[in-house]
Structure 1
């Protein structure tokens, strides 16, 4: 079995395990670029489930921007690359969008993923404005996607070691509890809720900090609303 088949098998089994579904898939453009913005869970693979649904139901490839450390881990690096992950950078994302591709990003990155469960369903992207600048620079519409139940896959315990390792080395060292208190993911039922595309302001430049702040604030506010609303359903 080659690496692509392994990646497909992993995602298909994860989708069944979590009874994954997508609401609002019609908001993904049938053609042309779009930036899909998601909340970042510790499990991370929930983003891959969304990309799989888009590929299977709409026939469009999705390129996922991954943390740089992923590409330093043998096997994980190969699986990620086979499944459409690329190293998260402005250059890579802009090139793909200008080529008319779908790009998925979790702007909170590892910092948001490492939030303790006392802060679940909460965004941590207040100072992460690169994705807003990217959309403004390329003119790509932004499709927000909230999956609050992804924060239920693991119980993340707040502890000083996790904070120290991240602050010192920008690496993940979480203390987590999954199914039966093990690292096995809990079978949380995952639903991705998609919002109608939000277009960047056409009369503003990504060099205008006020315009970037306003667009970023609108995106952040709407995504947090989606997380909060659907966390109760």
Structure 2
């Protein structure tokens, strides 16, 4: 009787030890599974948050600079934003080089006088921030972007928009700026292209004529610009696209979620100038620029876009397209 109880206790002890061991093992595997499951979500959501934070840091730095500009006027003979722009441009240029291995080709195609830069709008046009920063730092020229009106309603961004010359832009005001020899940038697709475009890189300009009217009015060339893999860096949430299309038509706001921040290779190509021709109508000029943009996409962008392929390009040597 005594031995039976002893054997029972021994077996029970073994069972409990085995249960504890099994439980610990399951905990390890469960923790590993949770890490595997949620790590991509953390990585994907990290950089968009960093980008937003950088916007507010940029705007805050420029606001502080603006407050103290009177003390710096003796040191700068140019406009009051010159030094502030270069500081924040250096930040963005560094981010492009570190995270995306950013390159830009065709700067020589931008004339010394006024020109209208027309670019393809990614889900988040981070490439355009890199373009503006690079050209300001290395060419000493400011690109004035035409921004959607909702940008001017975002709290805390006024200094940022003022410093970098972002304008809502009428045809007359844009043409006046160009006649003075400045660079002006427009994304004809705007928020619509950003939200509803996808990795097939279809140009969604909806026959907008405004940019063509500006170029004709100012008698300046148009420079098409496209960035390889921009749709792989950030993507808009395209499931239920009909719903997002309906929502955009109702609000004209970028309400479709954006995800990404992937360390893909970004390479900007600045195309040959489309010179001013008095025989062009706005319709014919839009058709010509759209054709040029589609040719640039066909020449430089594998379709459909692929995130893993674009990341591989970032970390491997590849031929310039």
TM-score for both structures, normalised by structure 1: 0.85
Matches within 5 A, 1:64-79: 64-79=145-160
Contact preservation (8 Å) 2:90, 2:133: no
Could you say which residue in structure 1 is the equivalent of 2:244? 162
TM-score for both structures, normalised by structure 2: 0.63
Partners of 1:173 and 1:65 in 2: how far apart? 20
Could you say which residue in structure 1 is the equivalent of 2:291? 221
Equivalent of 1:25, from 107, 110, 127? Answer: 107
Could you say which residue in structure 2 is the equivalent of 1:208? none
C-alpha deviations, 1:120-167, integer Å up to 9, x for none? Answer: 421111411111121111110111111131111123222355323311
Structure 2: tracts of 5 or more residues without a match: 1-59, 63-83, 303-320
Could you say which residue in structure 2 is the equivalent of 1:131? 211
Contact preservation (8 Å) 2:123, 2:195: yes
CA positional deviation for 1:103: 0.5
Equivalent of 1:112, from 193, 204, 207? Answer: 193
What RMSD over aligned residues (CA atoms) do the two structures have, in Å?
2.0
Between Structure 1 and Structure 2, the one with more strand by share is: 1
CA positional deviation for 1:34: 0.3
Change (3 A) 1:145 1:107: same
Could you say which residue in structure 1 is the equivalent of 2:267? 191
Bigger CA drift: 136-145 or 147-156? 147-156
Between Structure 1 and Structure 2, the one with more helix by share is: 2
Partners of 1:42 and 1:81 in 2: how far apart? 23
Partners of 1:7 and 1:164 in 2: how far apart? 37
Bigger CA drift: 99-108 or 109-118? 109-118
Q: Which runs of 4+ in 1 moved over 4 A?
A: none
Greater Cα radius of gyration, structure 1 or 2: 2
Change (3 A) 1:57 1:10: closer
Could you say which residue in structure 1 is the equivalent of 2:133? 52
Higher relative contact order (CA 8 A, sep 6+): 1
